[in-house]
């Protein structure tokens, strides 16, 4: 069933002012150059909707949403009502848990879902005419050519009891859980080989709407359980709390191309590094990172390593995100250029994330190449301008003038000494 996405299209078609279900994109990055998505630098976020302040990070539309002992109240009093909240931040992989009591009423739909600007979507939807089941669904890149992805799972009294509905989202799988128990799993390869797997930053959408409204298509009305009788209202759903585990905290997410792929997403202002991630930073700028992770707090790849003792020169750089890297080389320029080798991470200005290993041509502030013994390699070729977000050290193929001068002095001094020693040895023979 098309679910909330189909309803949004119908709502826009009839231009119902009070219906502002956010299942469309104001700017689709696959079709246009769009602003970066606002992220969150927090790894864990919790919103207690028994307090009105919990709404501060959400946009409210489609009707008023009071808060109280049961949390935020989403109510349909009449045709056209569709109170909705949308988070003002996005996150890129992690976990969303919503403590919800669904609304009763034929044709009434209680929705909680994640959605990206290119219309990736992961859904929970409860129908008011069914008090023993709830729907899971997903969409990739807004593809509604088929409606064969939904499943219905059993749940006890969703309209009279609060349950915790969770979405666990990683680059490899999506799990739907009810009260901590997995009820469905989607693997990346099972979504058209990954082409329709949700894989771009998403924000949180919560709302109630009338699937049985007369303005909807007959297919939507039938799916929702039949026409809505508004005289039997009001119909209310409640959200007591929302919790987010943010796998890849960042100030923002930028779409570097129009592919809609996870690899196209670039991070800025990241304060945390998750597993299988690459973080780079410049002391003069905020850090930039690109990461894909199925873990929220397991940084197996960090920009912190120690080079071996058998080096001629070591250069240490420190970033604003507290990541440290110690590089080694046999020669360095007067500007501190080195060819770096670090354990588990490699500096990069704009590397793209991937599963397992990462390879990209960077547009960072390093010139040369850097390789890590972990799972990623990047090669860059640009100026060592401080405006870049990469490491403040640059790779160079030749030794610096100061190094050459020192070598010449040493050679001039050591040559006579070596000759004198040789003559002494011959005389002793």
Residue 377 sits at the vertex; the CA angle it makes with 373 and 382, to the nearest 5 degrees, is 135
pLDDT tens digits along 183-201: 999 999 999 999 999 999 9
pLDDT at 391 over 60: no
| Choice among 73, 121, 251, 263 that is catalytic | 121
CB burial of 209-222 (b: ≥16 within 10 Å; e: otherwise) equals bbbbbebbeeebbe
pLDDT (mean) for 276-289: 34
Is 125 among the residues known to form the active site?
A: yes
Question: What mean pLDDT value characterizes the chain?
Answer: 72
Query: How far apart (Å, rounded) are the C-alpha atoms in residues 313 and 297?
Result: 34
Residue-range domain boundaries for the chain:
3-246
Which candidate, 101, 74, 210, 234, places its Cα nearest to that of 159? Answer: 101
Residues 34/35/41/46 CA torsion (nearest 10 deg): -80
pLDDT at 146: 87
pLDDT tens digits along 222-258: 999 999 999 999 999 999 999 999 999 999 999 999 9
| Choice among 125, 251, 328, 378 that is catalytic | 125
Q: What is the pTM of this model?
A: 0.63
In this predicted model, which residue has the larger pLDDT, 413 or 276? Answer: 413
pLDDT (mean) for 265-278: 60
In this predicted model, which residue has the larger pLDDT, 130 or 269? Answer: 130
Q: Could you tell me if 378 and 346 are in contact, meaning their C-beta atoms sit under 8 angstroms apart? A: yes
pLDDT at 137 over 80: yes
pLDDT (mean) for 45-52: 99
What is each CA distance from 69 to 51, 56, 66, 72, 240, in whole angstroms?
Answer: 8, 18, 10, 9, 8
Q: Binning pLDDT at 50, 70 and 90, where does residue 24 land?
A: confident
In this predicted model, which residue has the larger pLDDT, 396 or 255? Answer: 255
pLDDT tens digits along 292-332: 443 333 333 333 333 333 333 333 333 333 333 333 333 33
3-state SS class at 80:
coil
Query: How far apart (Å, rounded) are the C-alpha atoms in residues 213 and 126?
Result: 16
pLDDT (mean) for 76-81: 97
In this predicted model, which residue has the larger pLDDT, 338 or 124? Answer: 124
- Choose which CATH entry (2.60.40.180, 3.20.20.70, 2.60.120.200, 1.20.1300.10) describes domain 3-246: 2.60.120.200
């Amino acid at each position: 069933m098309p679910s909330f996405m189909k309803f949004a299209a119908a709502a826009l078609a009839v231009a119902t002012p009070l219906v502002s279900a956010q299942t469309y994109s104001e700017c689709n990055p696959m079709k246009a150059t769009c602003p970066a998505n606002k992220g969150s630098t927090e790894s864990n976020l919790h919103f207690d909707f028994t307090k009105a302040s919990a709404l501060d990070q959400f946009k409210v539309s489609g009707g008023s949403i009071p808060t109280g002992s049961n949390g935020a109240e989403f109510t349909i009093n009449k045709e056209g009502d569709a109170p909705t909240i949308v988070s003002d931040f996005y996150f890129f992989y992690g976990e969303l848990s919503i403590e919800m009591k669904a609304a009763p009423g034929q044709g009434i739909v209680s929705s909680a879902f994640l959605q990206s600007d290119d219309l990736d979507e992961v859904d929970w939807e409860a129908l008011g005419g069914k008090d023993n089941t709830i729907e899971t669904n997903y969409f990739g890149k807004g593809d509604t050519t088929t409606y064969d992805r939904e499943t219905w799972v059993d749940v006890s009294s969703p309209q009279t009891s609060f349950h915790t509905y969770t979405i666990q989202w990683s680059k490899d799988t999506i799990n739907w859980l009810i009260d901590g128990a997995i009820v469905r799993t989607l693997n990346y390869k099972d979504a058209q080989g990954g082409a329709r797997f949700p894989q771009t930053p998403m924000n949180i959408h919560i709302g109630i709407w009338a699937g049985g409204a007369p303005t909807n298509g007959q297919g939507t009305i039938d799916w929702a359980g039949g026409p809505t009788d508004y005289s039997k209202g009001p119909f209310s759903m409640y959200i007591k709390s929302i919790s987010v585990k943010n796998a890849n905290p960042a100030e923002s997410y930028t779409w570097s191309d129009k592919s809609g792929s996870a690899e196209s997403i670039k991070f800025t202002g990241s304060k945390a590094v998750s597993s299988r991630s690459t973080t780079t930073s410049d002391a003069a700028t905020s850090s930039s990172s690109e990461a894909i992770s199925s873990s929220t707090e397991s940084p197996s790849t960090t920009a912190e390593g120690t080079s071996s003792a058998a080096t001629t020169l070591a250069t240490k750089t420190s970033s604003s995100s507290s990541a440290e890297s110690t590089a080694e080389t046999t020669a360095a320029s007067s500007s501190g250029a080195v060819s770096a080798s670090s354990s588990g991470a490699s500096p990069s200005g704009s590397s793209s994330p991937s599963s397992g290993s990462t390879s990209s041509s960077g547009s960072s502030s390093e010139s040369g190449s850097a390789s890590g013994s972990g799972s990623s390699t990047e090669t860059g070729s640009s100026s060592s301008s401080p405006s870049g977000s990469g490491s403040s050290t640059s790779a160079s193929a030749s030794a610096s003038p100061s190094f050459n001068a020192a070598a010449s002095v040493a050679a001039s001094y050591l040559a006579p000494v070596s000759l004198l020693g040789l003559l002494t040895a011959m005389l002793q023979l």
